Structure 1
């Protein structure tokens, strides 16, 4: 698969961050009982485990933004679906059903968003902002105590490590690979790019933009349901404030990964590198004891910088096209 855009740069940045953390912190190296320095990738594995749900959620958000839309309800949807997963697991349902329940709820949320945006002709920002508020209120109502526990059987699946790799990473990796191939090589993927690039031109060649917007928002709901199941299965307690700021994290990762905020350009691979970059930045903030309140500010700064680069690239292409037309 040929890389383009921001992906090579992000790969280099991630390697540099890992190198800096390795040299200055016990991120990949530690001393054993004899005092010898040995390789210990446990901190890096933990980082991947902690961001497995983010990797999954960012894949869905990539398709939404590629199609020229946005979904601000993902944080609240993640919270509601995770709470549902915990409650279902505590009711004694089989573990597969405890995983299926949040996926179904997430898909239902995506269906509502998709229907109102695509066929109600209301802008996605307004629809998903309203959904975000509704879902957050519902989460608080369902969990008045502030937290809900998951069952031991449910948590055991999330903490399992087949072949030394956690279940969450297996799921996230397989899901990301499948969707990357779908986006690049299927008709649906090509239609997403076409609609995101120019909805009017897509209509002329027979691609209904509203059908594509419906499918990506519906799929994003499914994606968040899957992400919430993975997230909930890793913890014994789900708090009712989880997912706050999740939408900012996903959008930032997608845009940093090279996907145009205006749609039509980007890749799943770039998004995954963007998530890893933000995860490494957060680890650096923790290791260097920078107050946590700066985390959102750093993410916001990266988002503004990436959007600025996107605007500059878009204007540069516009000038090239105008010059060619002249």
Structure 2
């Protein structure tokens, strides 16, 4: 720290200058706590002190003071430029790190999505004939599920028959003709007897019945289950049964292909998570840019020295 009157070097804890006895005016520290480079004095304070001292100076002294202040201004511009350059380097390094982090995260997300898709492929259904659903690894019948590698037999059976039924109905009604004839032959008694005579009519209704059904039965080492369908769906049931048989026959090869695909996707995810080279390099570059204060330190030291020169020059003129 510099004495504002005589320019003598004093300690931070000193209250008076041991060279001139002046009470120390606390200006901003030459180096703030935690700062890696010397920090110049407050420029406003310096200018204020210079204006005060100018009142006691001769024209020649004022001219020399103006020269010192111009040098101080130039040093300040260089200091500001050094700050700006360092901030620009840090900003560019930070932008580069952010870009590589985005690229890294995107690669990991793609690898994770691919692994999820591969795992989900083996769980997707391949065919359905309600209440049965066929997956790549199992067949479900209502609430029962049977792994394809446990199947023993898939059976399709048709039962029932087509038959006819007849409904015969008889009906009778009186006729006026018979009433008249009975009266002519036997008088009033004959009319009554004749009136009770009826005409009979028979009607027959034919109906065709079809109670045929198709049953799909799954036999497994874990048990069995069956589903019934209308006979009209026999072709669809038999096709569905063929799909189950083919899936069961190909199960081992499908399983091996699935496990290989999952392993490959998992390895790709692992590689994506470990590919941090560019991120590490960018992070190291950012740390280096933040810690590299050589340009600022040099400019700051020069600026601070020019301020001290001004303070030392105006010290005898300050009241």
Task: Please state which band the TM-score falls in when normalised by the shorter chain.
Answer: under 0.3
TM-score if structure 2 supplies the norm length? Answer: 0.18
Which has more helix, going by share of residues? 1
TM-score if structure 1 supplies the norm length? Answer: 0.18
Which has more strand, going by share of residues? 2
